[in-house]
Amino acid sequence: MGIDRRDFLKRLAGIGGVALLGKGAKAYAGQPLGGFPDHLGVLVDTTLCVGCRSCEKACNEINQDLPRIPQESFQDMSVFDGRRRMSADSYTVVNRYPDPKDSERPFYSKFQCMHCLDPGCVSACIVGALTKDPSGAVRYDPWKCIGCRYCMAACPFQVPAYEYHNALTPQVRKCTFCFEARISKGEMPACVEACPMEVMTFGKRRELITIAKSRIKKYPDRYVRHIYGEHEVGGTGWLYLSGLPFEDIDFPKLGNTSVPSYTEPIQHAIFKHWIPPLTWFGVLGLLMWFMKPIENKSEPLSHEEGPEK
């Protein structure tokens, strides 16, 4: 009976094969994943969003591997009655939030993978199915994936979804940053281009931070003094401005240390002593429990400060 590479890796990931995978894991653990000087990103100014869902529609159109959703479905605004998360069928979703100061004008926010500078998902993936590209995109190779879902436990934003409905070839699904279809050809992501309100600005991350700071300085009454993603978990490629405190629009309050900074010393020890991958999964679960959102309000923004240490 034949065995494809996916099945082979799945079997290898069992107790008996962990030693071999451990060797592979070491090849990825501890790599300097952040610090790319030309890291691309997107600045999302949520104060401009009107909840038209054009970004969701464009994402579905460009990602042909997603289930085809009838185009008229994206005109259904009843989805805003609840809060949605990204799923195996949607790489991005927009949610609505009431403005306590203006009941006539709600806020909206778009969510997708944050393309972290030092991504927990990449560090946790023991077979290298998730990788950080120098462009900033966190990419996924389904051919390498063994379906262990460590990446899901390691993501502080609960982004990766899993195709539970796909019994034979389930994949982890998340926003690709339109790497293959757009970024690698020098084009902006489809959702950015589709937005009629120019909510999103695509460019080099460091330039986006300058733009964000100048907007906050120019319109202090419009924004909370915080650029979400500038420092959180070591920094993210997607950055956000908001008129409401970020915890009020479902952004977790996270520290400035990246997930791999916590996990990789443990990961090294686990593989060094040949402990089964189930233990690693437990460690990730514990880590995420410790990293659960803190309830403090947003910290004040310092326009002149560099990243907090």
**Interaction of residue 197 with ligand SF4, rule CB under 6 A:** yes
Q: Which of 13, 88, 125, 190 binds ligand SF4 (CB under 6 A)?
A: 190
| 47 contacts 97 by C-beta, under 8 angstroms | no
Total residues at the site for ligand SF4 (CB under 6 A)? Answer: 41
Q: Which helix (H) or strand (E) holds 40?
A: strand 40-45
Taking residue 273's Cβ as centre, other Cβ atoms within 10 Å add up to: 9
Q: Residue 190 or residue 208: which is nearer to ligand SF4 going by CB? A: 190
Cβ at position 122, least distance to ligand SF4 in Å: 6
**Interaction of residue 112 with ligand SF4, rule CB under 6 A:** yes
Q: Which of 88, 93, 116, 129 binds ligand SF4 (CB under 6 A)?
A: 116
**Interaction of residue 58 with ligand SF4, rule CB under 6 A:** yes
**Interaction of residue 92 with ligand SF4, rule CB under 6 A:** yes
Cα(285)–Cα(150) distance, rounded to whole angstroms? 9
In three-state secondary structure terms, 27 is helix
Q: Residue 86 or residue 209: which is nearer to ligand SF4 going by CB? A: 86
Cβ at position 233, least distance to ligand SF4 in Å: 7
CA atoms within 13 A on the CB side of 81: 4
Q: Residue 197 or residue 266: which is nearer to ligand SF4 going by CB? A: 197
43 strand-pairing partners: 201, 239
CA atoms within 13 A on the CB side of 106: 14
Cα(22)–Cα(9) distance, rounded to whole angstroms? 12
Cβ at position 197, least distance to ligand SF4 in Å: 4
Q: Which residue has the tokens 């240390």?
A: 257
Q: Residue 18 or residue 179: which is nearer to ligand SF4 going by CB? A: 179
Q: Which residue has the tokens 């005109």?
A: 75
Which candidate, 101, 239, 88, 100, places its Cα nearest to that of 174? 88
Q: Which helix (H) or strand (E) holds 139?
A: strand 138-140
**Interaction of residue 120 with ligand SF4, rule CB under 6 A:** yes
Cβ at position 81, least distance to ligand SF4 in Å: 16
Q: Which of 29, 127, 199, 212 binds ligand SF4 (CB under 6 A)?
A: 199
Cβ at position 52, least distance to ligand SF4 in Å: 3
**Interaction of residue 223 with ligand SF4, rule CB under 6 A:** no
Could you say which residues in the range 146-185 bind ligand SF4, by CB under 6 A?
A: 155, 157, 159-160, 174-178
**Interaction of residue 136 with ligand SF4, rule CB under 6 A:** no
**Interaction of residue 90 with ligand SF4, rule CB under 6 A:** no
Phi, psi dihedral angles at 114 (to 5 degrees) = -85, -10
Cα(251)–Cα(107) distance, rounded to whole angstroms? 14
**Interaction of residue 239 with ligand SF4, rule CB under 6 A:** no
Residues whose CB is less than 8 angstroms from the CB of residue 51 and which lie 6 or more positions away in sequence, other chains included: 77, 80, 94, 96, 106, 108
Which candidate, 68, 77, 299, 49, places its Cα nearest to that of 192? 49
Interacting stretch for ligand SF4, rule CB under 6 A, among 91-99, 163-171, 260-268, 284-292? 91-99
Which candidate, 88, 165, 169, 173, places its Cα nearest to that of 139? 173
Q: Which of 13, 29, 93, 113 binds ligand SF4 (CB under 6 A)?
A: 113
User: Which residues lie near ligand SF4 (CB under 6 A)?
Assistant: 49-55, 58-59, 62-63, 91-92, 94, 108, 110, 112-116, 119-121, 138, 155, 157, 159-160, 174-178, 189-191, 194-195, 197, 199
